[in-house]
Amino acid sequence: MNYPTVIQVDYHPSVAQFPTAQQLESQSRFQQELHETALATARKTFGREVYVRGVVEVSNYCRENCHYCGMRRSNRGLDRYRAEADTLLRVLLEERPQCITDINIQAGEDPVAVREVVIPLVRSLKASTNLGISVCLGTLSPDLTRELQEAGASIYIIKFELANPNLYRDLEAPGTLEERTNHIRWLATEGWAISSGFIAGLPGQDTEAALENFRLADSLPLVGCSVSPFIPGDATPLASATAASLELTLNCMAALRIMRPDWVIPAVSALNLAGPGSGYQRGLLAGANLCTINLTPENLREDYLLYRKDRFIMNEERILSAIQATGCQPSSTSLAQRYARHSTRPELVTA
């Protein structure tokens, strides 16, 4: 794919308070202080409102081969699917909880599903609802990306995964790290609001490599960023590796909130796998301010194999319970509305 050569992006991140190794490794009283600071920072910026979006997982076909993902192309044992746009539209129009203000449309890197499912679904949602629309679809061609935007999507979620280029290569993360970050910068010049993210506790990732994730995130033109704990996935080369600790993941989330008070930081569903029973709620108490309700049809969910088939599905009841338990409430404003109000589009300088 031929993208513009990004030489310089006129983007100037806020003066950041980068975390230290001691913060990422903190425990007991020091950890409590870190999380309390992060929570106070989130409350000062966002109040007690938490954004609530829905997600539909439209395809588990993927042309990438990431070692940490069960949907990697080398997993020949996975039953592959592409959902039907009409089925998803019915679910989103008739079964969507009232607290949802945005919809995220997610898939493996599958251009066929983008053309046949995602673009028609985005057009229909835009025509019949006021929902904000985000997509998480990997690295697509410029033409396909622009079609998505013209259809009505305005937020692009594309994780850089990890900031160490050598480990990035060894884990067969998408393309090269340089290509991935250049694509993020290119998307920003196209007018997308971009959220990214990284994985905490990957095998081979020491504390210095973890700190690199923060420096890279702050250098990118983002409106939000996630931290996902590494969970050994079924049918992956890392299936027997040790999972990331919940404490490291939460410390990374808290440090990210302190570093960038203005970013939207999601509580990811994998927190429930890293810390069954309390992980998700603790994510909200570490500064997260976005929750996601899974609306993928039940007959498809177990084959969207990010980690393993026994998924912990965040439904409306679980999300609202977690929000209420932390003294917060769902936001009535969509992410798309927030980003539109705070839009700062960088300029692209090309060769």
pLDDT digit string (tens) for the chain, length 351 residues: 444 444 334 444 455 689 999 999 999 999 999 999 999 999 999 999 999 999 999 999 999 999 999 999 999 999 999 999 999 999 999 999 999 999 999 999 999 999 999 999 999 999 999 999 999 999 999 999 999 999 999 999 999 999 999 999 999 999 999 999 999 999 999 999 999 999 999 999 999 999 999 999 999 999 999 999 999 998 999 999 999 999 999 999 999 999 999 999 999 999 999 999 899 999 999 999 999 999 999 999 989 988 877 788 999 999 999 999 999 999 999 999 999 987 654 444 333
Q: Is residue 350 part of a domain?
A: no
Whole-number pLDDT of residue 342: 75
User: Does pTM top 0.85 for this prediction?
Assistant: yes
Q: Is residue 334 part of a domain?
A: yes
Closest to 180 in 3D by CA, of 190, 168, 192, 191:
168
Residue 132: φ, ψ to 5°: -75, 145
Burial class of residue 37 in the structure, from the number of CB atoms within 10 Å of its CB (0-12 exposed, 13-18 middle, 19+ buried): middle
Q: Is residue 276 part of a domain?
A: yes
Q: Is residue 291 part of a domain?
A: yes
Whole-number pLDDT of residue 232: 96
Whole-number pLDDT of residue 223: 98
What residues form DSSP beta bridges with 227? 198
Distance in angstroms (rounded) separating the CA atoms of residues 280 and 9: 35
Q: How far apart are the first and last CA of the chain?
A: 16
Q: Is residue 1 part of a domain?
A: no
Hey, what are 66's tokens?
């990431």
Task: Name residue 306's amino acid.
Answer: L
Number of domains in the chain: 1
Whole-number pLDDT of residue 51: 98
Task: Name residue 174's amino acid.
Answer: P
41's CB contacts (< 8 A; 6+ apart) are 257, 258, 261, 287
Q: Is residue 196 part of a domain?
A: yes
The rounded Cα 69 to chain-centroid distance in angstroms is: 14
Q: Which domain holds residue 330?
A: 6-343
Burial 240-277 (b: 16+ CB within 10 A, else e): ebebbebbbbbbbbbbbbbbbbebbbbbbbbbbbbbee
What residues form DSSP beta bridges with 54? 103, 293
Q: Is residue 349 part of a domain?
A: no
What CATH number should be reported for the domain holding residue 231?
Answer: 3.20.20.70
Whole-number pLDDT of residue 12: 44
Q: Is residue 272 part of a domain?
A: yes
